A = this chain, B = another copy of it.
Amino acid sequence: MKPYYESKDGRFKLYLADSFEFLRDFSKNSVDMIFSDPPYMLSNGGFTVHAGRRVSVNKGDWDKSHGLYNDFNFHLNWIKLCRESLKPHGTIWISGTYHSIYQCGYSLQLAGYKILNDIAWYKPNAAPNLSGRYFTASHETLIWARKEEKARHIFNYGLMRNGSWPEDFLKKPDKQMRSIWAINPPRSWEKKFGKHPTQKPTDLLKRIVLASTNRGNTVLDPFTGSSTTGLVAYLYGRKFVGVDNDRASLDLSIKRFEELAANINNKQKIITKI
């Protein structure tokens, strides 16, 4: 496997690949933490997953239950493959809304992970509900799980408790970090190199990376998109491996990374810009 992009120091690598094929070949028991924001699928048809391999499918026999089963199968498979790449004490984060998160959560349980926490990421400035028929969707769910039922995972308790978290009005100083995080999504002007539909705020990834990894650890993102995970991981001295099957996303990732690398001596300013 040849990286699509690799930083000079080798700590930041991007692969242009199908996540399934990539994960089957990737080193086992080598990753400390995975962050993943998987596609929703939403049962569009066109392919299914058998034995961890994508297979195109006849559109004719496509119905809702078929689509649902296929979506679930998709998630179960990439989640199983991720588990193989994790070290025994390694952990995985999965983010999603109700479209996919229940399938991912149940998949984690089936695949043998131990769920450590579920986090509600509250977006204080979420867009209003225009139909007036529902509550205003203003959060996403994050699940944090460990590969093995029994193992000592990394959790930087002191930093989470006593660190500085001015972006989160729900985090009280000198109190434990709780399972609700109030963090605004990125403003549109922050996406200066191009827009990625599900780009996550750096403050969110900063918290995830600092909570669940140590300096020098390896972080993997199998649906890396514009690579906010990777930028934050690199900035804080972690190694990063990002995978995506979309070339445009990786090109956007590279632009963002090179901006970061050029200014890394000024860490304080960077975190709000990347």
Contact = CB atoms under 8 A, between A and B. Distances in A.
A134 B117 contact: yes
Interface in A147-167: 153, 155, 157, 160
Contact of A136 (B68, B98, B143, B178): B178
A112 B65 CA distance: 8
A109 interface: yes
A18 B118 CA distance: 31
A110 B68 contact: yes
Contact of A135 (B129, B138, B178): B178
Contacts of A72: 106
Interface stretch (A49-57, A120-128, A224-232, A249-257): A120-128
A132 B65 CA distance: 42
Interface of A is mostly: mixed
Given A135-B178, A139-B120, A176-B136, A105 B101 contact: yes
Contact of A65 (B110, B118, B157, B180): B110
Contacts of A97: 118
A8 interface: no
B179 A139 contact: yes
A199 B120 CA distance: 22
A160 B141 CA distance: 23
Contacts of A261: none
A6 to B, nearest CB: 34
A151 to B, nearest CB: 11
A248 interface: no
Interface in A99-115: 99, 101-106, 108-110, 112, 115
A119 interface: yes
Given A98-B143, A120-B180, A126-B178, 19 more contacts: A64-B112, A68-B109, A72-B106, A98-B117, A102-B104, A102-B106, A103-B106, A118-B141, A120-B120, A120-B122, A120-B139, A120-B141, A133-B157, A135-B144, A135-B178, A135-B211, A137-B178, A139-B179, A139-B180
